[in-house]
Amino acid sequence: MDEAEVIARLRRMATAPEARGLLDDAALIDGLVITHDSIAEGVHYLPGDPPESVGWKLVAVNLSDLAAKGAAPRGALLSITLNGDGAWESGFLDGIETACAAYDLALLGGDTIALPAGAPRVLGMTALGRAGSQVPDRAGAADGDALWLVGTLGDAAAGLAQLREDPGATGTLVEAYRRPLPLLAEGQALAPHAKAMMDVSDGLLLDARRLALASRCAIEIDLDAIPLSSAFLALRGTSAEARMFAATGGDDYALLAALSASFDPSTLSLPTSARVTKIGHIAFGDPEIRVVSNGHPLALPERLGHEHRPSAAAPPNAASPITDRN
């Protein structure tokens, strides 16, 4: 079974309204937003990545799901696997501690298990956040809404590519891959106004398709409007190929929001570093995504982002330590 098939099967069990039909990244119960993410060695991070950065990343990817719901971090449960002499785990916990302190996230408990020697590590966290006045899901977008992106795309995927070419690579793009920054303040500001919102973790095109499916609408994305950082532009340029790379790479942890066409998010009280860009719109029609450039439609790439599949079922270009957060 691939990821979509597993989730479809789980929906038969997850019938409580708090589960939101498993159409979202988080559950909502008694004023708490609850999410869980796991990261695996060789899938979501490279075996040579510093353990401190892996610990930071595990916290950050969970907090990104809270950001997409406009929730304030409250606490977390940690699942850690033990393997080897303990040096790696010590560094990993240093990263967890640093991230929890940075985002005022209380560690409440968890679980530890020992692995056979040489087994890849699988690490997990459940994060809880205090819900705000409105908790947007993926299902509220409607015809005529504008599609906005908070953050930039492509940096982490470009950093990963650098590490694949040179395991000793450093710099802004590598840092974006190893130490993502959850957009918590931006999410809390946007949530009361968002018709639908989610984080972009598996690639813009793939995650936009998930929003379209949940909202039962069509989404059109202007490839030329996709926001790119100066570091990405310096390395990859502005070609359509570079922009498509950014739109499908994943690990961005940007926020994707459907807002009423009349609403301007620049009027909100956002951090001075926030970058908010209108990248498309929502339209009536069958759930799908369309991509245009210079006003002309583009063919969708075969790979919209990263989806988990069993090894035997995965196409050759699907093996990637780029995370999947559905």
Q: CA 275 from chain center: how many Å?
A: 17
At 19 the pLDDT is 74
At 316 the pLDDT is 39
The pLDDT tens digits of the residues spanning 3-55 come to 778 777 877 777 777 777 667 789 999 999 999 999 999 888 999 999 999 99
In order of 99, 130, 134, 187, 288, the CA distances from 57 in angstroms are: 8, 21, 27, 18, 31
Q: First CA to last CA across the chain, in angstroms? A: 16
CATH classification code of 146-318? 3.90.650.10
- Mean pLDDT of all residues in 124-138: 95
Q: What is the share, in percent, of the chain residues with pLDDT greater than 90?
A: 79
Tell me: domain 3-130, CATH 3.60.20.10, correct?
no
The domain spans of the chain are 3-130, 146-318
Confidence of residue 312 (pLDDT cuts 50, 70, 90): very low
Confidence of residue 321 (pLDDT cuts 50, 70, 90): very low
The pLDDT tens digits of the residues spanning 152-161 come to 999 999 999 9
Q: Is the pLDDT of residue 309 over 70?
A: no
User: Could you give the angle at which helices 51-68 and 87-102 cross, rounded to 10 degrees?
Assistant: 30
The pLDDT tens digits of the residues spanning 239-265 come to 999 999 999 999 999 999 999 999 999
The pLDDT tens digits of the residues spanning 163-196 come to 999 999 999 999 999 999 999 999 999 999 999 9
